Amino acid sequence: MQHKHKLLATAISQAQVPCPDSIIDRFSNLPDAVAHQILSFFNFKQLIRIGSVSKRFRGLYLSSLSLDFWSWYSNKQEQLNMLNSFERFLIHRGDNKIQHFRICLNLCSTLCDEIFRVITWVHIAARCSVEVLDLQLEITKTDMPMMELPSCIFLCGSLRSLLVDLYTVLKVPSFSGSTNLQHLSLSSVRIDEGFSKWISSFCKRIKQLQLNNVKT
C-alpha cells in the first residue's frame, strides 16, 4: 500500500510540472513600449538577469529607457565588479535613448576612479537625451575635493528633471543657454555665483525648485 502511495505522489508531482513545449512566453510577444514600461520597475542587477534569458530579452535589456543603478557595497572588490559590469552595459547599449537615469552610489574605494566614472555616465546620459537625471552619492571620505558636475547637464535640451544629492559643486558654464528644465532638486550641493542668474535668465520653464543644505 505504501508503495502505491509513493507511485501516486510521484505521478501527481510529474503532472504538476509543465512541459517546456506547453509554456507560453507572453512577455516576448508584448510590444516594445509595454515591455520597456515593465522593465522600468527593475534595477540594474535585475536587468542583467533578464538580459541573459534570450536574444529578444537582451535587445529589450540594452534598449531599456529607465536605468536604475545602485551600488552600496562595503566590500571594495564587489563594488568594483558592479561598476565594471555597468560600464560594459553602457558600452553595449550605445546611444539608445534614456528617459530616466538614477545613480545611487557609495564612493568607498578608489575615489578618483569612481568620480571619473560618474562624470562619464552623466556625459553618456546627456548624449542619450536623458529626461530625468537623479544623482545620489554618499561620500565616505571627508578629505576629498568637491566633484564638479559637467557642463553638459546645463546644455542638455531633453533634460526635464534634475535631482542632485551629493557633495559636489554645481557650476553653471558661462556659455549656458535656455533650458527646458522643469524640476530642480538640490541637496548638499555648493553653487557658484552664476547659479541665481542661470535660474532667473535661462530656466523659464522651471515649475519646482527645491534647495536643501545648499551652500555658496
Q: What is the pTM of this model?
A: 0.78
Distance between CA atoms of residues 210 and 137, nearest Å: 18
Judged against a pLDDT cut of 70, whether residue 5 lies above it is answered with no
Q: What is the pLDDT averaged over residues 12-36?
A: 62
Q: Given this model, what pLDDT does residue 200 score?
A: 85
Q: What is the pLDDT averaged over residues 100-104?
A: 93
Q: Note the pLDDT tens digit of each residue in 42-78.
A: 888 888 787 777 777 788 888 889 999 987 766 778 8
- Phi/psi for 163 (5° steps) reads -120, 120
Higher pLDDT, 160 or 110: 160
Long-range CB pairs of 109-113 (<8 Å, 24+ gap) are 109/76, 109/79, 109/80, 110/76, 110/80, 111/141, 111/144
Cell 535589456, residue located: 61
The count of other CB atoms within 10 Å of the CB of residue 179 is: 22
Q: What is the pLDDT averaged over residues 174-199?
A: 84
Higher pLDDT, 208 or 52: 208
Judged against a pLDDT cut of 90, whether residue 141 lies above it is answered with no
